Structure 1
Amino acid sequence: MSAHLTIGICGAGIGGLSALIALNRVGLDAEIFEQTSAFARVGADINLTPNAVRALDGLGVGDELRKTAARPQFRISRMWNTGEETSRLAMSEAAEEKFGAPQLTMHRADLMSALVSRVPEGSLQMGKRVENIEFSAGAKSSLAFTDGTSTSVDLLIGADGIHSAVRKAMFGADHPTFTGVVAFRAVIPTEKLAGSADLDCFTKWWGPDPETQIVMFPLNKGRDMFVFATCPQDEWLEESWTTPGSSAELRDLYRDFHPEAQAILAACDEVLKSALYVRDPLESWINGVAALLGDACHPMMPFMAQGAGQAIEDAVVLARCLDGVSDIPSGLRAYQEARLERTAQIQRGSRSNQWLKAGGNADWVYGYDAWDVPIGLSV
């Protein structure tokens, strides 16, 4: 493929930044258009399982992430009422030996900072909110922005999230579905949890129904503990998907959980509450001159901790599929063929929420190597 190919990426989130870096790694230049005017330290956590960490290692950011991340020693499942441990999967060194990378848990902003540091100067344009996208006879994508500027690219990559403007231009307008599940998030200094067990582990407390759970894992080299709790709610009336929550409501909703889980919740002072939205798996992510990745095409429930990881995998595989191909459409077809079924399977598994509840084999998720998986190119 010509080195003069123009590639535009909408969205400078984890998937978009990963895509640009991966494209650079295979010798292709790209430019990112991001609607916000500046990055902010937003979000609380990111749980990167070995498949995601191995992909990030190939992007050259793994060493930087290890400086601030925690490395959970085990992935533990426990029952909400009895505290019974139903599965324990060794992570950290054991995962590194088996899968080639550990699990890393960290603040989302630390991952973003590491990725941004790998973006070449001039490749990232901020304050570029898309107003209109047009595809011209399968040859170019034309983008108009709300600031009055415009551009055209040979290949457009939609990494612009669940409200994707690129997706809308490709396939028409639709709306994500509220799952009937809300999530509470909180970060607790570990020093407030003296006496609690397994503070160096990823622990999931399984509730009385698939929508109710509490997940806990360390951040910041173990100095903080992140809490993520979900439960059913009939409707979501807030204008924002994320709002300040009530620690009293959080504790009341899980008042019947095991005392060890309640002890963690008792230390939560500030809480965020958000609605969880999904879309059904798409039959296609491409149209010949444009492709989607990450939440733009496969937004997931968080129950397998694969949302960010699948976006990173998409980015790596897409770059590999564009490396050396004779034309864009064949590369995009190879990308879709390599990624569609895996992401759909993880979407379905995340929604059913039975992943590793009572043990099982994690290899099909954690053992995936985006840099080495067959891609079936016809060059």
Structure 2
Amino acid sequence: MSTPKFSVAICRSGIAGLTAAIAISHFSSEKDIQVNIYEAAQEITEIGAGIGLYKRPRNVMNYLYFREHLERLCEVPAVEDKSYLAFRMRKSNQQKGVPFYDTFTPMGTLLLHRIDFINTLVARLDSEIITSSPTAPITLAFKDGTTSTCDVLIAADGIHSATRHTMLELAATDSEADGSEEGGGEAAKMLRGMVDPIWSGRVAYRALVPREKLEKINPNHSVIFTAQSYSGKSKHTIVFPISQGRLMNVVAFCSWPDKVGTIFEGKTVEDRSKEELLELYAGWEEEVQKLLQVCLYNFLDCGRLLTIRTPWLPTGAGQAIEDAYILGALLASPLTTLSTLPISLKVYEEVRLPHGNAVQQRSAGTGRLYEFDDPRFADLANKELGEADKVTLSEIGDAAVELWKWAWTTDIEDDRSQAMALLKERVEGRSSV
């Protein structure tokens, strides 16, 4: 590699960090950006084992030439302009569950085991651009006493991001030093209030269930044939197959709407007892009870996970992939040099931040629909409903689709085109001054 125009450090080798490295390499025709990835964890855990990718992130994978790799991990629909059944919604907090809505999505949904997907990303890293870091203005200090430097730092280090904490604390200190006493103090207070993540008021109990275990106790269980969303008052459980159908990914959500925006007390990830989850889902239909029994006794205890980005679209991994794709394209542009880096990063913020905020709001709204916490449907929550109520219940599905149909009616390439046009306009505008 020739002398790099600048260096990039990526904290953590998760989906976002690895995709960013691959995107930078993909768009960098001159291979003139130096990338280092730093990972503290010794291994990837099972938490968040299953992920689903809709049209937008799936297109990113296609643009980055991942289709053949994904075909080894899951079933990839052959006809891309056709709609496929994504999952079935059921009202389940009653003795007999009622299926009431089938959700179809163009291009289908890629259902992946997180570890398999990350291993595939690792295998695609370009060793030509990932080398030792040169001297650069940002100094990284790690817990083991080592240090490194970079020109750009990508904080992909998760919910407890040390990078976010340091960045906001430094910004607060600068605000106090540079601003007026009153204005600077208020800005610093706001920034420090963003250091710790705010609780969504929900927890997710996650587990994997071997298909053969489920078939032994109920060979006709609905999730064997179709991904399911089991809904009830302030709770719902999403189940879908991964690892070529050998495993069922189970995520049981429990919500406390009055706790939204508070600080979560205690560990954000830990093992919880089987009695706790069974008690929370007491009285739900037999399909749910059987599923939770298999989770608890035959595979692993569920973890209690704090979710900051509300996950009900579901597109958390997809948003990470999209973010990385746009950022990689901007950094690798010939217009982005060491001197224009601030422009490139500002363009990224302008394009992706409004989108991310909108997704967050839609996701929260979707969660309220799934759990009958939306005022329009709250009176249905604790009623024993049947076949005659399907038309009324289907309005929930229609409302949910309205919130997240953007995931397959818009294209990530439009966002990239907007970002590149803004970059060109800003860089050329600066040059003409």
TM-score band, normalised by the shorter chain? 0.7 to 0.9
Partner of 1:345: 358
Question: Does the CA contact (< 8 Å) of 2:205 and 2:305 recur in 1?
Answer: no
Q: Does 1:208 align with 2:233?
A: yes
Partner of 1:335: 348
Partner of 1:243: 270
C-alpha distance in 2, partners of 1:119/1:110?
15
Query: Which residue of 81, 91, 111 corresponds with 1:79?
Result: 91
Deviation at 1:26, TM superposition (A): 1.0
Partner of 1:62: 67
Q: Relative to 1, partners in 2 of residues 1:123 and 1:272: Cα closer, same or farther, differing over 3 Å?
A: farther
Partner of 2:282: 255
Query: Which residue of 156, 161, 164 corresponds with 2:161?
Result: 164
Which segment drifts farther, 66-75 or 315-324? 66-75
Gap runs ≥5 in structure 2: 77-83, 170-191, 371-395, 425-433
Q: Does 1:369 align with 2:383?
A: no
Q: Does 1:120 align with 2:126?
A: yes
C-alpha distance in 2, partners of 1:157/1:37?
17
Listed one character per residue, the Cα deviations across residues 337-370 of structure 1 (whole Å, up to 9, x for unaligned) are: 1111111011122223146842234431234432
Partner of 1:229: 252
Question: Does the CA contact (< 8 Å) of 2:89 and 2:99 recur in 1?
Answer: yes
Partner of 1:358: 397
Gap runs ≥5 in structure 1: 97-101, 129-138, 279-299
Query: Which residue of 28, 31, 35 corresponds with 1:31?
Result: 35
Q: Which amino acid aligns with 2:276?
A: E
RMSD (Å) for aligned C-alpha atoms:
2.9
Listed one character per residue, the Cα deviations across residues 295-351 of structure 1 (whole Å, up to 9, x for unaligned) are: xxxxx0222222111111000011222312241122112211111111101112222
Partner secondary structure for residue 176 of structure 1: coil
Q: Relative to 1, partners in 2 of residues 1:366 and 1:310: Cα closer, same or farther, differing over 3 Å?
A: same
Question: Does the CA contact (< 8 Å) of 1:79 and 1:86 recur in 2?
Answer: yes
Q: Relative to 1, partners in 2 of residues 1:30 and 1:274: Cα closer, same or farther, differing over 3 Å?
A: farther
Partner of 2:208: 187
Q: Normalising to structure 1: TM-score of the pair?
A: 0.79
Q: Relative to 1, partners in 2 of residues 1:70 and 1:230: Cα closer, same or farther, differing over 3 Å?
A: farther
Deviation at 1:200, TM superposition (A): 3.5
Q: Relative to 1, partners in 2 of residues 1:262 and 1:337: Cα closer, same or farther, differing over 3 Å?
A: same
Partner of 2:242: 219
Question: Does the CA contact (< 8 Å) of 1:206 and 1:213 recur in 2?
Answer: yes
Partner of 2:175: none
Question: Does the CA contact (< 8 Å) of 2:269 and 2:306 recur in 1?
Answer: no
Q: Normalising to structure 2: TM-score of the pair?
A: 0.70
The structure number with the bigger radius of gyration is 2
Number of residue-to-residue matches in the alignment:
336
Listed one character per residue, the Cα deviations across residues 245-295 of structure 1 (whole Å, up to 9, x for unaligned) are: 3334323321222223223223222222213242xxxxxxxxxxxxxxxxx
C-alpha distance in 2, partners of 1:272/1:122?
41
Q: Within 5 Å, give how 1:73-152 maps onto structure 2.
A: 73-80=85-92, 81=94, 83-91=97-105, 95-96=106-107, 102-121=108-127, 140-152=137-149
Listed one character per residue, the Cα deviations across residues 67-87 of structure 1 (whole Å, up to 9, x for unaligned) are: 122568432221123533332
Question: Does the CA contact (< 8 Å) of 1:200 and 1:217 recur in 2?
Answer: no
Partner secondary structure for residue 294 of structure 2: coil
C-alpha distance in 2, partners of 1:252/1:354?
21
Partner secondary structure for residue 40 of structure 1: coil
* Structure (1/2) with the larger strand percentage: 1
Partner of 1:22: 23
C-alpha distance in 1, partners of 2:208/2:75?
14
Q: Does 1:199 align with 2:229?
A: no
Deviation at 1:238, TM superposition (A): 4.5
Partner of 2:379: none
C-alpha distance in 2, partners of 1:149/1:249?
42
C-alpha distance in 2, partners of 1:274/1:368?
34
Partner secondary structure for residue 9 of structure 1: strand
Question: Does the CA contact (< 8 Å) of 1:34 and 1:125 recur in 2?
Answer: no
Partner secondary structure for residue 23 of structure 1: helix
Q: Which amino acid aligns with 1:276?
A: L
C-alpha distance in 2, partners of 1:158/1:63?
29
Listed one character per residue, the Cα deviations across residues 75-134 of structure 1 (whole Å, up to 9, x for unaligned) are: 22211235333321224xxx22xxxxx3111211011101100112376689x9xxxxxx
Question: Does the CA contact (< 8 Å) of 2:270 and 2:305 recur in 1?
Answer: no
Partner secondary structure for residue 352 of structure 2: helix
Instruction: Give the share of equivalent positions with the same residue, in percent.
Output: 28
Question: Does the CA contact (< 8 Å) of 1:78 and 1:84 recur in 2?
Answer: yes
Q: Which amino acid aligns with 1:364?
A: W
* Structure (1/2) with the larger helix percentage: 2
Question: Does the CA contact (< 8 Å) of 1:176 and 1:277 recur in 2?
Answer: no
Q: Relative to 1, partners in 2 of residues 1:68 and 1:261: Cα closer, same or farther, differing over 3 Å?
A: same
Q: Relative to 1, partners in 2 of residues 1:125 and 1:87: Cα closer, same or farther, differing over 3 Å?
A: farther
Deviation at 1:236, TM superposition (A): 6.2
